Structure 1
Amino acid sequence: MSELNETHDPELSSWVSSANTPGHDFPLQNLPFAVFRRKGTDEAWRGGVAIGDDIVDLAACVVAGHLKGMALEAARAASGDALNALMALGPGAASALRLALSRALRTGADRVLADCLVPQAGAEFALPARIGDYTDFYTSVHHATRVGALFRPDAPLLPNYKWVPIGYHGRSSSIGVSGQAVRRPTGQVLPAGAQAPVVAPSARLDYELELGVFVGPGNALGEPIGLDEAEAHVFGMCLLNDWSARDVQGWEYQPLGPFLAKNFATTVSPWIVTMEALAPFRLPWSRPDTDPEPLPYLDSPAHRTRAAIDIRVSAALQTPAMRARGEAPARLSESSFRHAYWSVAQMVAHHTVNGCNLQPGDLLGTGTQSGPDETESGSLVELTRGGRQPLTLPDGEQRTFLEDGDQVTFSGWCERPGARRIGFGRVDGTVLPARQAGPR
């Protein structure tokens, strides 16, 4: 796990003045990665690092000769149309680049990177990596219990949950970056009281407030990754919306779990916050004394010391009527990854315990991040208790599930006394109507 170093100093400021704005997501202590180009151009996509309202163009840094050694090697690896090559180099390379950029962007440094800055307002973003495989986990016991009670009132939490980090393999081809327009899916559903299913557009479209974990260096097929080495195989984290068709899910999920209810769209934020940037926000990892102890491959003294991370996340909704009036999205809930029952390291260790080989750029979803209180629920199915208790928005509109034209926005951040607040930016997605002509 990353340790604190000079780049985390909360007193550091930048000659990029916007980075010093209180509450800004991208101060000098963050420096997250993305893939971008200028809007309205056919420029090549390339890697960049956020600083305040600007982006450090890493390809331009390489050409200008501002970097040396391992930092230069890392910038070259990040200069292409995806960050996989940088991810493959491991945490040492990304850390060297982070240190070099931190020093070059600090107040008092020569402004040699000034010509390498691109305003974020004039940029567009692509997926930050070529995602070969995507696995979505189920790390919130609070979400698992609440949703389980809706689908299985007699057994909300299945007996394996507290022993196994549950996950399923998702669909990488339908993952999009923030701004994704999501077509309402059509699928097979069983209407209430019906004896036979029908094919229809989902009437219970939902979001899931998640974090994404991008894999760094992979592992050889047949070679598990140990718990205490797991985070050396993780590049960083982003925001993730796992769109879900609850009516399709309720009919199809037994016995093999999610399928068409989940694979039609997943949206991630463009910015990846590195594990090194998250170091000041570590917490001890624990679970209730009444719960079973993790099996040895999922437990260690080092893991218990600081494997939890206090990443706060929130979900907001803007309806078409709100947008027409110029009203900001209404916040629906807020929670934290510190409540997760399973950690990032445990997800990686369990994913590979059978010898499964992860690859640079693979994506792991944390599952919906719901907290212990119902107001901290990370999905509409929880907030409305399966649609039985509609939410009333500030303008008087109500929602049980998402309607066409709704825009869902997630944000994420970390803050604590003695550390500089850092953020994840945001991830937006808008619901489009179902196709008029259904399958035949």
Structure 2
Amino acid sequence: MSEQQAQTTPFDLPEDHPFGPHNLPYGVFTPAESDAPRVGVRLGDYVLDAGAVAAALGSAHAAVLARPSLNPLLAAGRATWTEVRAALISWVTEEAHRAIVTPHFHALADVSLHLPFEVADYVDFYASENHARNVGQIFRPDAEDSLTPNWKHLPIGYHGRSGTVVVSGTEVVRPSGQRKAPTDPTPVFGPSVRLDIEAEVGFVVGVPTQLGETVALADFREHVFGLTLLNDWSARDIQAWEYVPLGPFLGKSFATSVSAWITPLEALEEARIAPPARTHALLPYLDDTTEELKGEPGGYDLRITVAINGHTVSEPPFSTMYWTAAQQLTHMTVNGASLRTGDLYGSGTVSGETEAERGSLLELTWNGKQPLELPDGKRAFLEDGDEVTMTAWAPGPNGTRVELGEVRGRITGAR
């Protein structure tokens, strides 16, 4: 929809609107006249109170929708997800429901948006070969292979901190910690001076598992409800000093931002694609080329845009990710680790083959050696006051686009 086509009612949006009935992402919102959060779905520039409509129409799913969190819906399982989505599409498209549905719409500009689900565990992966090779070249320039020996055999990840996952729009306080430059005789303590972003996609788990149970590749969509844009904020100087030998800790755990909207996997059927060709044989539990999985492409064609203070700095393509979300879920549970409703796992930084497709400032500036030229000055890493915004879209039905909810955060000074 062009900027000139302002939406005046929930129903007068063009058929190709990226937040049309073919999308309907889920969130949690509070109307201006209330202090009670409730589940909503977005239609254009409006939010529908899903629980109120379900109750008014006598839906069997009113109970899971009349909650202050998406978790009950997430836990209900795929059959319920499909039924609820079909009902929502009917409610917002069929004239017969219009009189009942209309009073339960709220203008997006008039509501407060919240973290849409209670995060159980948070895991972050490292699934982009382009990103991994860039990082390897930056930190191991003399290595024969910029990838670590295990990279093509398993999805590498780390366990993050679920309590610091925040909704889009939450300010990010510059973290403090230990850092030690190669020329420093001893470490120093203070605010990070190499604060970075990581453009990622997060996957939201609905159906849990029992301890000791594993999830096969074919069962990915039985457990994962949807996806969201994710910014894995990273303090590179703190991370560089602490990560040997156990990996990221304080350099990552201070904040992870996600969108206020969760796009259900069912809205992204036209965006499903095959992942890049595998260059190494995979162990059976990760092998997605089997006869059983034919017709179940594991990749997603998502086009991401990263902007700093309104200026586009990168456009990473998610289609290039080597490891799929299904492989990540399977690997995450292959040791018997249980899933919980509300588990969130990040794809890892999304980076394409070209310089304009790199998903972190570490890569975009080549570890600060090649600062970006922005309208308001050069940037090697983020400065206080900088606002980072990530948006994305995917191909939808009949030539439409499915837009993902943005994820946005502004840096404030260390406390």
Q: Normalising TM by the smaller chain, what interval? A: over 0.9
Matched, 1:53 2:45: yes
Q: Is 1:98 matched up with 2:98? A: no
2:86 partner letter: L
In the TM superposition, what whole-angstrom CA distance separates every residue of 1:167-214 from its partner, at most 9, and x where no partner exists? 100001111101111110111101341121111111000011011100
The aligned residue for residue 265 of structure 2 is 275
Contact 2:242–2:248 (8 Å) recurs in 1: yes
8 Å CA contact retained: 1:217, 1:233: yes
Q: Tell whether the 8 Å contact from 2:276 to 2:320 is kept in structure 1 after alignment.
A: no
CA deviations 1:383-412 (Å, max 9, x no partner) are: 00000001101x251111000000000001
2:118–2:342 contact (8 Å) kept in structure 1:
yes
Q: Which residue pairs with 1:168 in the alignment? A: 158
Return the alpha-carbon distance in structure 2 between the equivalents of residues 141 and 314 of structure 1: 19
Cα separation, 2, equivalents of 1:295 and 1:428: 38
CA contact (8 A) 1:20 1:52 kept: no
For 1:215, the equivalent position in structure 2 comes to 205
1:263 is aligned to 253
Question: Paired residue for 2:386, among 389, 398, 406?
Answer: 406
Give 2:6's aligned residue: none
Q: Find the residue that maps to 2:280 and give its secondary structure.
A: coil
Contact kept in structure 2, 1:19 and 1:53, CA below 8 Å: no
CA apart distance, 1:38:
1.6
Kindly indicate whether the alpha-carbon contact (under 8 Å) linking 1:162 and 1:292 is maintained by their aligned counterparts in 2.
yes
Shift, 1:82, TM fit: 1.1
CA positional deviation for 1:17: 3.2
Q: Report the alpha carbon displacement of residue 43 of structure 1 after superposing the two structures with TM.
A: 2.0
Output the amino acid matched with 2:87: A
Partner secondary structure for residue 47 of structure 1: strand
Matched with 2:28 is 35
Show the 5 A alignment for 1:222-241. 222-241=212-231
Give yes or no for contact 1:285–1:303 (8 Å, CA) kept in 2. Answer: no
Tell me if structure 2 keeps the 8 A contact 1:103–1:109.
no
- Is residue 205–residue 344 contact of structure 2 (8 Å, CA) maintained in 1? yes
1:17 alignment partner, SS class: coil
Output the CA distance in 2 between the equivalents of 1:424 and 1:92: 23
Question: How big is the shift at 1:94?
Answer: 1.4
Distance in 1, Cα, partners of 2:131 & 2:362 = 10
Query: For 2:150 and 2:174, how far apart are their aligned partners in 1?
Result: 33
Q: What pairs up with 1:204-353 in 2 under 5 angstroms?
A: 204-288=194-278, 291-299=279-287, 300-303=290-293, 305=295, 306-318=297-309, 329-353=310-334
Contact kept? 2:396, 2:402, Cα under 8 Å? no
Alpha carbons of structure 1 residues 207 and 302: separation in structure 2 relative to 1, 3 Å: farther
Q: What displacement does 1:18 show?
A: 4.8
One-letter code of the match for 2:84? Answer: L
Find the aligned partners of 2:45 and 2:331 in 1 and give their Cα distance.
38
Corresponding residue for 1:115? 103
State the one-letter code of the partner of 1:232.
E
In the other structure, the counterpart of 2:5 is: none
Aligned partner of 2:123 in structure 1 is 135
Paired residue for 2:76, among 56, 69, 89? Answer: 89
The equivalent residue for 1:10 is none
Root-mean-square deviation (CA, aligned residues, Å) is 1.7
- Contact 2:18–2:400, Cα closer than 8 Å, also in 1: no
8 Å CA contact 1:284–1:304 kept in 2: the answer is no
Query: In the TM superposition, what whole-angstrom CA distance separates every residue of 1:255-306 from its partner, at most 9, and x where no partner exists?
Result: 1110000000011001000011111111123424xx2122111123454641
Structure-2 change in CA distance of 1:353 and 1:244 (3 Å):
same
Instruction: Give, in whole Å, the separation in 1 of the partners of 2:71 and 2:299.
Output: 26
Distance in 1 between residues matched to 2:321 and 2:294, nearest whole Å: 13
CA distance in 1, matches of 2:125, 2:378: 30
Correspondence for 2:351: 370
Number of residue pairs matched by the alignment: 401
**Conserved? CA contact 1:171–1:263, under 8 Å:** yes
Residues 410-419 or 174-183, more deviating: 410-419
Specify the SS of the correspondent of 1:62: helix
In 2, Cα distance between equivalents of 1:302 and 1:418: 29
* 1:268 aligned partner, one-letter code: V
Q: Structure 1 pair 369/109, CA: closer, same or farther in 2 (3 Å)?
A: farther
Cα drift, residue 67 of structure 1: 4.4
1:116 Cα shift?
1.4
Residue equivalent to 1:321: none
Amino acid at match of 1:117: F
- 2 CA distance for matches of 1:78 and 1:60? 8
SS in 2 for 1:278: helix
Could you tell me which runs of 5 or more consecutive residues in structure 2 were left unpaired when the two chains were aligned: 1-8
Alignment-derived partner of residue 3 in structure 2: none
Q: Give the AA of the match of 1:330.
A: H
**Matches of 1:119 and 1:98 in 2, distance apart?**
21
Q: Paired residue for 1:25?
A: 18
Cα gap change, 1:21 to 1:120, in 2 (>3 Å): farther
- CA deviations 1:129-171 (Å, max 9, x no partner) are 1111100011111111111222222343101011011110000
Q: Which residue of 1 aligns with 2:187?
A: 197
Q: Which of 388, 402, 405 lines up with 1:425 in the alignment?
A: 405
1:49-68 CA deviation, whole Å, 9 max, x = no partner? 1111111102211331x143
For 2:120 and 2:159, locate their aligned partners in 1 and report how far apart those are by CA, in whole Å. Answer: 11
Task: Give the direction of change, closer, same or farther, for the CA distance of 1:34–1:396 in structure 2 (3 Å limit).
Answer: closer
